[in-house]
Amino acid sequence: MSKFLLKVLSITHWTDTLFSFQIERPKDFKFKSGEFVMIGLPNSDKPILRAYSICSPSWDEKLEFYSIIVENGPLTSKLKNIKINDEIILMSKSTGTLILDALKPAKRLFLFSTGTGFAPFSSIIRDPETYDKFEKIIVTHTCRFKNELHYSEKIINECINDEILKSFIEDKLIYYKSTTQENSEYTGRITNNIQNKSFYNDLKLDDLNFSTDCAMICGSLDFNNELKKLLIEKGFQEGATNKPNTFVLEKAFVG
C-alpha cells in the first residue's frame, strides 16, 4: 500500500487530552464519509500507525482528525506535540464500516457516539447524501465533562450556519449532547437514557424502531457492545456493504 507525506495545516487543543488537526489532502486520495485511514509520524524506520476516522466530509479539500492523548501512548504522546508544517504519514487506502452504503433505506438515522467516537459522524453529518437518504438525523455525543463536548458543538454549529450545508440540513439534524460526570442539560449514560425513555422524552421522538430507523455506533468498547445488545433486543440487525441492514458499528478501534 502506498503512502503520502503531508503537511499539518492547523492544530486545536480542546482540553488537556483532546485535540484536532488538519492536514493537506492529496488530489488523488478518495474516501467515503465515515471511513478511517491509518496515519502516523515519519520519525523512525518503522513508523507507528494508528486508525483514525476522517472528520472531514468527502468533499473537503483538507483532512481533519480528532484525537485523544493517551499517556505514554506510542503515537498520541508524540502526535500531541505536532506543529504547523510538520509532516504526517497518511496511508493511501481508507476503509470502515460506518458508511451509508451498509444501511438499508430508512426514515431516521441515529448516530450514537462517545468521546472521540464522534469523529466519523463529523464527516457523515456534513455530507449532503446523508440528508438525501434520511428524513431525520439524530447525532448523540456523550462525554464525561462539558468541555469534552466542544469539538462536536463546533461541528454542529458549522453545519447549521454553513451557506451550502444548511440548505440540505434545514430542520433534519438533531443534536443530543450529554455528560456522565458533570451536570449539564442532559446528564447520564446514553444507554440508560434510552432505556428509561428520557432520551425520547427530551427530544420529543418516537422510540427506536427497526422498521423505520437505522443506527451507527462509535465509542468505547463497552459502549459499543451495550448499545449493540440494546439494538438487537429491539429487532435491529447488523449490516455491511455487501449486506446492508439496520445498524453498523466501528470495530477497528475505540475512542
Q: What is the pLDDT of residue 253?
A: 57
Structural domain that includes position 49: 3-95
Q: Which of 54, 77, 95 is the last residue of a domain?
A: 95
Q: 134 vs 103, 155, 161, 176, CA distance in Å?
A: 11, 19, 20, 18
Q: What is the CATH number of the domain that holds 222?
A: 3.40.50.80
- 222 within some domain: yes
- Do 91 and 50 fall within a single domain? yes
Cell of 154: 463546533
Query: Looking at residue 43, what is its pLDDT?
Result: 80
Asked, for residue 159, whether it belongs to a domain, the answer is yes
Query: Do residue 69 and residue 15 come from a single domain?
Result: yes
Question: Are residue 38 and residue 140 in the same domain, yes or no?
Answer: no
Half-sphere exposure of residue 207: CA atoms within 13 angstroms, side-chain side:
10
Residue at 187 is within a domain: yes
- List the chain pLDDT tens, one digit each, 255 residues: 799 999 999 999 999 999 999 999 999 999 999 999 999 999 877 899 999 999 999 999 999 999 999 988 899 999 999 999 999 999 999 999 999 999 999 999 999 999 999 999 999 999 999 999 999 999 999 999 999 999 999 999 999 998 888 888 989 999 999 999 999 999 999 999 999 999 999 999 999 999 999 999 999 999 999 999 999 999 999 999 999 999 999 876 544
**What pLDDT shows up at residue 170?**
86
Residues 135, 154 share a domain: yes
Percent of the chain with pLDDT strictly greater than 90? 90
Residue 254 lies in a domain: no
Q: Which of 180, 243, 221, 210 is nearest to 110 (CA)?
A: 210
Task: Name the amino acid, one letter, at 19.
Answer: F
Closest CA to 218 of 31, 15, 53: 53
Name the 3-class secondary structure at 167. helix
Quick one: 107 and 217 in the same domain?
yes
Q: Is 111 domain-assigned?
A: yes
Q: Are residues 27 and 149 in the same domain?
A: no
Closest by CA to 86, choosing from 12, 8, 10, 3, is: 8
Give the burial class of 73: count Cβ atoms within 10 A of its Cβ; 0-12 exposed, 13-18 middle, 19 or more buried: middle
Q: For residue 255, what pLDDT is reported?
A: 40
Q: Is there a single domain that holds both residue 17 and residue 48?
A: yes
What residues does 115 pair with on adjacent strands?
none
> Strands 173-179 and 87-95: what pairing?
unpaired
Q: What is the pLDDT of residues 142-153, one digit of tens each?
A: 999 999 999 999
- Mark whether 77 and 180 lie in a shared domain: no
Q: What is the pLDDT of residue 254?
A: 43
CA atoms within 13 A on the CB side of 93: 4
Split into its structural domains, the chain has a count of: 2
Bridge-based pairing of strands 3-13 and 18-24 is antiparallel
Supply the pLDDT for residue 117: 96
